[in-house]
């Protein structure tokens, strides 16, 4: 059986934001076993799984990704939507727009320190949409 949900995330400031609880709340009940696939429908944001306890991890991600892919005038040709747009596209492609998480005994089978992040790369990215598909 397949179930699908649309999950909307209100505009977030630039950075790495834990959204695990939002995903769990929007979906509600999970089957005993299966897979949850999450797909973010945007080209200047991403989703990933990482440390869910210490805020320093998310802050460090933000610092490092901005050092790796800087906003630098003259570096990019695609500049119509501002200096954070093209770097946002590159960051999005590097981190990715989808995740697949196993479901075991009615719960997401992630490690105890893992959480789902929305990675917002725009200064004003707007509302984001995730398509969540459960395969059971």
User: d(Cα 118, Cα 50) in Å, to the nearest integer?
Assistant: 11
CA dihedral over 81, 87, 90, 92, signed as positive or negative: negative
Report the predicted TM-score, pTM, of the whole model to 2 decimal places. 0.95
Residue 80 reports pLDDT greater than 90? no
DSSP label at 93? H
Mean pLDDT of 4-18: 97
Name the band, by pLDDT with cuts 50, 70 and 90, for residue 79.
confident
Q: Which residues contact 87 (CB under 8 A, 6 or more apart)?
A: 66, 69, 70, 71, 76, 121
Identify the H or E element spanning 65. Answer: helix 55-68
CATH code of residue 45: 2.60.120.460
Q: Give the chain's domain count.
A: 1
Each residue's pLDDT tens digit, 46-70 = 999 999 999 999 999 999 999 999 9
Predicted pLDDT of residue 4: 98
Domain hosting residue 77, numbered range: 2-135
User: d(Cα 100, Cα 67) in Å, to the nearest integer?
Assistant: 28
More confident residue, 4 or 74: 4
CA dihedral over 64, 65, 69, 73, signed as positive or negative: negative
């Amino acid at each position: 059986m397949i179930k699908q949900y649309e999950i909307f995330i209100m505009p977030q400031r630039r950075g790495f934001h834990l959204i695990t609880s939002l995903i769990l709340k929007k979906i509600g009940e999970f089957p005993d076993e299966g897979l949850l696939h999450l797909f973010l429908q945007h080209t200047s944001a991403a989703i990933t799984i990482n440390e869910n306890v210490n805020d320093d991890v998310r802050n460090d991600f933000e610092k490092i990704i901005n050092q790796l892919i800087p906003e630098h005038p003259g570096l990019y040709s695609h500049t119509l939507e501002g200096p954070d747009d093209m770097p946002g596209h590159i960051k999005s492609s590097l981190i990715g727009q989808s995740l697949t998480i196993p479901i075991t005994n009615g719960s997401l089978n992630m490690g105890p320190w893992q959480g789902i992040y929305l990675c917002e790369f725009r200064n004003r990215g707007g509302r984001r949409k995730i398509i969540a598909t459960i395969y059971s």
